[in-house]
Amino acid sequence: MRMYLRYPYVGIIQIRLRVETKKFPLSRLKASSPIFIYGFIIQPEVGDSKKKFCYIENRMYLCYSVMEYIRLEKRSKYHIYPEAEEENMKVSTLLEGLEYTCCQGSTEQEVTTVVYDSRKVEENSLFICIRGAVVDGHKFVPDVIEKGAKTLIVEEEVEAPSDVTVIKVADTRYAMAFISAAYFGHPAKELKTIGITGTKGKTTTTYMVKSILENAGYKVGLIGTIEAIIGDKHIPAHNTTPESYLVQEYFRKMADAGCDCVVMEVSSQGLMLHRTAGIPFEIGIFTNLGRDHIGPNEHKDFDDYKRCKGLLFKQCKLGIANVDDKYFKDVFKGSTCKIETFGFSPEADLRAENVELVSRPGYLGVAYHVAGVMDFDVEIDVPGKFSVYNSLTAISVCRHFQVPVEMIKDALKKAKVKGRIEMIKVSDDFTLMIDYAHNAMSLESLLTTLKEYNPKRLVCLFGCGGNRSKDRRFEMGEVSGRLADLTIITSDNPRFEEPQDIINDIKIGIAKTDGKYVEICDRKEAIKYAIEHGEPGDVIVLAGKGHEDYQEICGVKHPMDERVLIKEVLEELKEK
């Protein structure tokens, strides 16, 4: 039901009605009859005061944004009374900007919800038929029609009753990105969106950017490998870059929560599957590129991987790139954005000079001088050269938000990321850390960095995921065998493969080196071995799991957090 608000002046530009998981756009509004719901709380000047936003909400979780400055003293002049019916969005509005063919029905069909999961269809839903790696959404057409779907977005011909509107597009995933943006009211236009792509460094950099901007007073949303963060709410992630519908839903919630900007990881898979299509990125970041994510369920070859990474720089205003990466020019080939660079090279717009490794009891870090378009010294509580790159990336972004230098330095000291060079105190004699390094490039970078701190022994514990490219196993085995003084081969996420078969593949890579290794299939027992045999001055790395709190076996994710395993091991060792 609608409620109308009458008052002595008109200044409303736009009103949007929102619910927790649905959006009911209200089109064709008259300035003289704006729409509200009875029993709300008015909170003047919440949000972006420059745009004169005022958030109005009620206790039933219905939320409104009114682009008008409402003075508190004029509240008493508002009168509310029930009237009219809810107005739903039309198919034509959702399809704006897309090329399509209306095979049957009418684009004036009203839509209550946009759905790509057949289980969530309800009366008057618009259902998008997505071709997945395992399931094809077109097969569920009879089921969704029976449940009440009145609009179908398809790539191929389907049979449907005459009262069902059928819209054919070239790519339903691409269409879903634009339909979702329209459904949620194009929330990205209300945010400064920062996208970060690259083989490694994305997660750490997103948290660094978030830390710096929040330190400067911005309210920042985050979408990434570990989680999505909206205000105080943390939502565990299933993909580095979620499906486009979920991305737009998160954006909507961020905008409603008063966020100024959002920083998100943009994976090559996300770009390839159009999960970020149509997003007007303010800034796009390129960290680096290595040979990864190539296989049957990922990219067909390295050229395709490079091409997909480059898509980000055809939809952002400013591209910021690691000039030291040998694939930098390949990734930016055909880019349409302005380009700035960072790195160690004298050619970089923002560069690191005079890098020093900082080592104290229980502490590994790095200090350097920022030169080029900025000039100051900085120290970070994360070791290694890659930490310099990550922090330079964050600094490059945040200078465009006019963040003062002291705030940048302070925020970089505070920035911590779960499962990224995460130090866990287990002994006064040696250092143990958890890291997400799960491919050869990231593992080599990590181990090379740690060797520079001259540990007595560098011990690397890792496994590899099942149903993924075997090349990764060979390569990671060879890297650890070459760089670590001792490798402990164990299980990771075997999925639908036998853990021992994966371990045998890793051993093929280690056999190319003279590296010492032990194999312990049970990950907890492997961790126990590492701690029990730790020697003074050792650095022990538990690689591959990072932030993950599960182990996937035969399609089931079993609870398994390395922090919990370490705690259990320490308790067991105390009892001995």
Average pLDDT by stretches of 10, the chain with 576 residues: 31 33 34 34 35 33 33 33 54 95 96 95 96 90 97 96 97 97 95 94 92 94 95 91 95 95 93 93 94 63 86 97 95 95 97 92 86 96 90 96 95 87 90 93 92 95 95 97 98 96 98 98 98 94 95 95 97 89
Q: What is the pLDDT of residue 296?
A: 59
Backbone phi and psi for residue 8, each to the nearest 5 degrees, phi listed first: -75, -5
Residues in a beta bridge with 89? 111
DSSP state of 495: B
Q: How much is the pTM?
A: 0.74
Question: What confidence score (pLDDT) does residue 290 get?
Answer: 79
Q: Which residues pair with 36 in a beta bridge?
A: 3
Could you tell me how far CA 280 lies from the centroid of its own chain? 16
Rounded to an integer, what is the distance from CA 88 to the centroid of its chain?
31
Calpha distance 506→469 (Å, rounded):
12
Distance of CA 576 to the CA centre of its chain: 43
Q: What kind and span of H or E run contains 528?
A: helix 523-532
Phi, psi of 319 (to 5 degrees): -110, 130
Q: Which pLDDT does position 298 carry in this prediction?
A: 67
339, 321 in Cβ contact below 8 A? yes
CA 122 from centre of chain: 29
Sequence-distant (≥ 6) Cβ neighbours of residue 139 within 8 angstroms? none
For residue 1, the model assigns a pLDDT of: 31
Q: 503: helix, coil or strand?
A: helix
What six digits make up the tokens of 553?
Answer: 């076996």
